[in-house]
Each structure stands twice: as structure tokens, then as C-alpha cells.
Amino acid sequence: MADRNVTNPTSDEFEFFIKLQHCLLGLYAWEFVISLDFDWKVIAGKHAFRWPLFFYFAGRYLMLAALIGIIVSVDPPTTLNCHNLVTFNELAASASLGLACINLAVRTIAVWHNKWITRLVILLVLGHWSLVLQSGLVITSWTPTLGCVIVETKNTILAATSLYAMSFDFIVLCLLAYRLAFALDPISIASGRLARRLISEGLIYFLVSFVCNSISSLLMIIVVYDPVVAVIFHIPACVASTIASSRVVRGLSTFNAETGRVHTDIGSVRNTPALVGGTISSRGNVRTDRVDDVCIETGKLSSIGAEADQGICRHAAEVSESDEKLSADGMV
């Protein structure tokens, strides 16, 4: 594969590229608007802000800025400095892809609580951003009719960035799934609803990112003679990954907040000695071995099959505790 690709694209190819960018901006703007309520809840303090949400906001708004910048570059009201604008668009779009990967990575770190896994993930992040922060990968020239026309691309680095993102996502997803599915703790976080949500949401994001980045990488590798066609799917891949990652973050944050309220309600019952009649732990909480008493007092046991219902209640308590463990650091 050639490292650089220099040619003069036909007007038809670039016009298709322009129309595609308008469609992407419309799609992303719609997604952005319908999810603004979550942003407002965080800004207004109605939803707790925790530091992993920084990556969510940065990626979300950088992608919007990149798409607006791309539209300005291809539909300019006047003569532009193409180099500066296109460099910003390129870095913002690539950064949103990198931040989408980090959104899943920080949750893998939270689940493991292991310094070696943390160091591995951080190393992978640094390797990815060494590619993301490369500039000058797309060279454009000004034309009065089409704006900033792509005339040169560095396909090798662009393809490497997409391939690295795919590999990165695969590694952190495998680490996440392994930890949640094969944890050895008897009260395993694998049984928690939040854990199952993490795996399912992470898998959906990975599949979307994998398919889009695969197509983008293949075009960059195969189509070395046409810079427009080679990079035509790069921005769609960044948009799709950002949307999927943002939905995962919002879904997990909302789900965590809802289950947190449930845990509080359960705790108010389980932590009342007079009601439960259980033993008090060193932290002042009722021990979970008396959860059957809680189930009885809250009317969750039926008159028939009480033994089976007690087992269900114990399992529900274990699931509740596992979710509390998983969300303790506020990373999910």
C-alpha cells in the first residue's frame, strides 16, 4: 500500500463525498438533539458528573465540530485556508474515534481493579493516540467551485488508526467479558444486571465499530489510486463509533442511576434491625444471610413454595450487591 496517494479526483466523486458529509451531519445532528436531555441533566446537576463522562462529552462535541468544519470546507462562503481547517477536522474526527474507544476502556479498568490490567489499557490508549494525533494525513487544495478538494492522503497511517481502534476495542471487550463472565467470587458480579448490561452494550458498540472501521480500512488499503474514495468511509466510521459509544455511556449511566435508587430502597429495608432482626456487621449494616427475613417482611414470599422464593430473594440480594460493587467507583 502506498503511503501517499496523489491524484486529481473527478468532480462526480467529490460531489458524492460532499453529499455524504451533509447526510452525516444531518444524522449526527438528529442524534445529538434527541440526546441533549442527558447532557442537560449532567450540566444542571440532576445527574451526577463523574470523571469518565469527560471522555463522553469531549468525543460527542468534537465530532459535531468536525462535521460542521467539513461542511464549511466543502461549501465555503469565501476563500478559505484549507490546510488549517482540514487539519482541525481531521484531528477532531480521529480524536472522537479515540475517545469512543476510551469510553469502553475505562469501564474495563473499573471492573478489573488490577494495576497490571490498568497499565495494559493505558499503554494501549497511548499507542492509539500516537496515531490519532498525527496531522497532515489529508491534503487539500482550494477550488472556487468545490471548496477544499482532497488531493493527497496518507493511507498507511489512516488505515493503521482504524485497524488499531478495532484491535483495541476487541482486547478491552475480551478483558471485560472475561472478568464479568468468569469471576471467581461466589457473589459474582457476573450475575448482576449492570454486568450483563455492560457486556451487551459493549458488544453492540464493538460490532458497530468493527464493521465501520473494517470497511474504512479496506478502502484505504485497496483503493490507493483515488484519495477521495480511499477516505470516503473514514468520517462515517468515526460518526458511527461515536454514536454507538455515546449511547453506551448514556445507557449505562442512566441504568446505574436507576439501580442506585433501587439499591437505596432495598438498603433502607435491609439495614433496619428492628424490621429484619438480623445481626449487625462492623459497618452497621444488616448481614445478607438474613435476607430471607427481609423477603418475608416485604411480602415477597408466597404461602406456597416459600423455600423456592427464599432462594430467589437471596439471589436478588446477591445481584444487588454485585451491582453495587460494579458501580462503586462511578465508572459505569
pLDDT at 203: 82
Instruction: Tell me which residue of 92, 180, 179, 167 sits closest to 125, measured CA to CA.
Output: 167
Q: Is the pTM of this model over 0.85?
A: no
Which amino acid, 205? Y
60: Cβ–Cβ under 8 A, 6 or more apart, which residues? 32, 39, 96, 242, 246
Hey, which bits of the chain come out as E strands? 5-6, 138-143, 147-153
In the structure, what pLDDT confidence band is assigned to residue 220 with cuts at 50, 70 and 90? Answer: confident
Residue 13 has pLDDT above 80, yes or no: no
Is the distance from CB of 87 to CB of 136 less than 8 angstroms?
Answer: yes
Alpha carbon separation from 242 to 164, 169, 209, 213 (Å, rounded): 16, 13, 9, 12
pLDDT at 221: 84
Is the distance from CB of 12 to CB of 20 less than 8 angstroms?
Answer: no
pLDDT at 296: 44
Which sign, positive or negative, has the C-alpha torsion 312, 113, 94, 217? negative
Residue 106 has pLDDT above 80, yes or no: yes
Q: Which three cell numbers stand for residue 176?
A: 471485560
Q: How far apart are CA 245 and CA 230, in angstroms?
A: 25
Which amino acid, 155? N
Q: How far apart are CA 316 and CA 266, in angstroms?
A: 10
Placement of cell 467470587 in the chain: 185
Q: How far apart are CA 201 and CA 284, in angstroms?
A: 36
Average pLDDT over residues 59-82: 87
Which sign, positive or negative, has the C-alpha torsion 119, 121, 124, 126? negative
The string of pLDDT tens digits covering residues 233-291 is 889 999 999 999 999 888 888 766 555 444 444 444 344 333 333 333 333 443 344 34
Q: Using the 8-state DSSP alphabet, how is residue 76 labeled?
A: -
Architecture per CATH, 5-252: Up-down Bundle (1.20)
Q: How far apart are CA 16 and CA 12, in angstroms?
A: 6
What are the extents of the domains in the chain? 5-252, 264-326
Q: Which of 114-123, 162-171, 309-318 has the lowest mean pLDDT?
A: 309-318
Q: How far apart are CA 199 and CA 193, in angstroms?
A: 10
Is the distance from CB of 250 to CB of 53 less than 8 angstroms?
Answer: no
pLDDT at 10: 56
CB burial string 69-85: b at 16+ within 10 A, e below: bbbebbebeeebebeeb
> Contacts by 170-174 with C-beta closer than 8 Å and gap 24+?
170/206, 170/210, 171/124, 172/101, 172/104, 172/105, 172/108, 172/121, 172/124, 173/104, 173/108, 173/202, 173/203, 173/206
The string of pLDDT tens digits covering residues 133-167 is 887 788 888 887 778 888 888 888 888 888 999 89
| 18-27, 182-191, 219-228: which is most confident | 18-27
pLDDT at 99: 94
